[in-house]
Amino acid sequence: MFDHLPVLPPDSILGLAAACRADANPNKVDLTIGIYMDETGLCPVFDAVKQAQRALIDEEVTKAYIPPQGDQAFVDGMTELVLGAERLAARKGVVAAIQTPGGCGAVRLGAEVLKASNSGGKVWISDPTWPVHIPLIGSVGLELTEYRYYDPLTHGVNFDAMVEDLKGAQKGDIVLFHGCCHNPSGADLNAEQWQVMAQMAAEQGFTPMVDLAYQGFGDGLEQDVHGLRALIDNTPEVVVAASCSKNMGLYRERTGLVIFICKDERAAEATASQAKSAARRIYSMPPAHGAIIAGRILSDPTLRSNWEAELSAMCGRINTLRADFRDRLQVATGRDFSFIANEKGMFSFLGLSKEQAQRVRTERGLYMLDSSRINVASLNNRNIDKVVEAVVSVL
Ligand code: LMR
């Protein structure tokens, strides 16, 4: 049965993280996977999560399945966090939201429903994008096509090229946006650029789909959804895939939500039924633990303000690391690295070639992706000099 199966190459992100773990080099530094690490090099558990978890353990009386649409406090709290109370009230009855296993599960369920709609359209993805978008959406049977997004020369968004490419997106097509903290580049659209995208969606009739994996890691919980809300204000249908992996540190709990903003109540009922049916077919039931914790944090004012403060401190620390890293690289090389401090979220492309990225790995034990994407949130006072020296050694 299995003897003829080929061994597949390791995942481009997880494979390098595993290679780093296995590396005996005492000076190794892992900047591969997108996980927030604190100053001690540990991915911390939010204090609000610990408190909500303790209460859950004390109060939980059953491990029976939760409903297929998910934990209601979580679904309501997250939908409001993403859309905002005002927009949610204005769209009462036309929003369908289903809890999913992480943000990946949300992208997948969104793609399943888009496929079921039989629009015959293509899914436009940014070049570059998070590599997992491609199998996650493509394996549903939707055709993918790229739009230009990042300009390695300016280290920013190539907005003219993006607009030019997306002029080809038509009614029935889906355009996948990164809501904030673009993965892998860290280069985000500004408010005017989002407005242009919203206008194009309205005029051309394509459906925006927004992957929102980092809300709160850019400029703040509210600011990070201004683009998404501009799309919602201008187009009748939007799909959002939200994740609590990063902003609540619930990586392993697989806590996500897919939101469909529909034209009318019947369409909302239909999308919810399609999403639940796809979930039943793929993994059957949503996982409860992380969603109940997140739902509790979102609905309890004390836990919520603790969580928001901790999240904002993480975001502030990433920005301090960005500025520090920029300064050290500029001093060491005399070159301009200001782009590092202008980007948002965890990631940055350092602009190294694949060969340079591989050399710093083998010669210095510095692990970044082959694309030279680094996780800025894995830098700390103990490793930042090693990282600068390694990068300078191949420039
Ligand atoms: C990443 O891009 O490193 C994260 O989103 C983690 C993952 O699953 O790839």
Catalytic residue, candidates 71, 173, 211, 224: 211
Q: Cα separations (Å) of 94 from 53, 228, 238, 268?
A: 32, 17, 11, 5
Q: What pLDDT is attached to residue 66?
A: 97
Q: Where are the domains of the chain?
A: 14-45+304-393, 65-299
Please indicate whether residue 130, judged by its CB atom, sits closer than 6 Å to ligand 1.
Answer: yes
- The overall average pLDDT reported for the chain is 97
Ligand 1 geometric centre to CA of 33 (Å): 5
- The answer to whether the 14-45+304-393 and 65-299 domains have the same CATH topology is no
Catalytic residue, candidates 28, 122, 246, 276: 246
Residue 258 scores a pLDDT above 90: yes
Output the CATH code of domain 65-299: 3.40.640.10
Give, in degrees to the nearest 5, the angle at Cα 324 between 320 and 328: 170
Where residue 119 falls among pLDDT bands split at 50, 70, 90? confident
Each residue's pLDDT tens digit, 300-331: 999 999 999 999 999 999 999 999 999 999 99
Each residue's pLDDT tens digit, 30-52: 999 999 999 999 999 999 999 99
Each residue's pLDDT tens digit, 324-371: 999 999 999 999 999 999 999 999 999 999 999 999 999 999 999 999
Please indicate whether residue 185, judged by its CB atom, sits closer than 6 Å to ligand 1.
Answer: no
Q: Which amino acid is at 371?
A: S
Q: Which amino acid is at 69?
A: Q
Ligand 1 geometric centre to CA of 184 (Å): 9
Q: Which atom of ligand 1 is nearest to the CA of 130?
A: 2
341: tokens are: 């401090």
Please indicate whether residue 227, judged by its CB atom, sits closer than 6 Å to ligand 1.
Answer: no
Residue 265 scores a pLDDT above 90: yes
For residue 211, list its beta bridge partners: 178, 241
Distance CA 55, CA 71 (A): 16
Exposed / middle / buried, residue 76 (Cβ in 10 Å: 0-12, 13-18, 19+): middle
Distance CA 51, CA 253 (A): 16
Is residue 167 annotated as a catalytic residue, yes or no? no
Per the listing, tokens 């690289």 go with 329
For residue 147, list its beta bridge partners: 126
Q: What pLDDT is attached to residue 118?
A: 85
Q: What pLDDT is attached to residue 218?
A: 96
Where residue 126 falls among pLDDT bands split at 50, 70, 90? very high
Please indicate whether residue 251, judged by its CB atom, sits closer than 6 Å to ligand 1.
Answer: no
Residue 152 scores a pLDDT above 90: yes
86: tokens are: 């005002």
Per the listing, tokens 């902003």 go with 247
Distance CA 256, CA 258 (A): 7
Rounded to the nearest angstrom, the gap between the alpha carbon of residue 193 and the centroid of all alpha carbons in its chain is 20
Q: Which helix (H) or strand (E) holds 174?
A: strand 174-178
Please indicate whether residue 183, judged by its CB atom, sits closer than 6 Å to ligand 1.
Answer: yes
The residue-averaged pLDDT of 257-285 equals 98
Residue 219 scores a pLDDT above 90: yes
Q: Which atom of ligand 1 is nearest to the CA of 33?
A: 3
Ligand 1 geometric centre to CA of 109 (Å): 18
Exposed / middle / buried, residue 135 (Cβ in 10 Å: 0-12, 13-18, 19+): exposed
User: Closest Cα to residue 155, out of 185, 113, 130, 181?
Assistant: 185
Distance CA 303, CA 298 (A): 7
Output the CATH code of domain 14-45+304-393: 3.90.1150.10
Per the model's pLDDT, the better-predicted residue between 118 and 221 turns out to be: 221
SS3 350: coil
Where residue 101 falls among pLDDT bands split at 50, 70, 90? very high
Each residue's pLDDT tens digit, 41-82: 999 999 999 999 999 999 999 999 999 999 999 999 999 999
The residue-averaged pLDDT of 15-39 equals 96
Please indicate whether residue 13, judged by its CB atom, sits closer than 6 Å to ligand 1.
Answer: yes
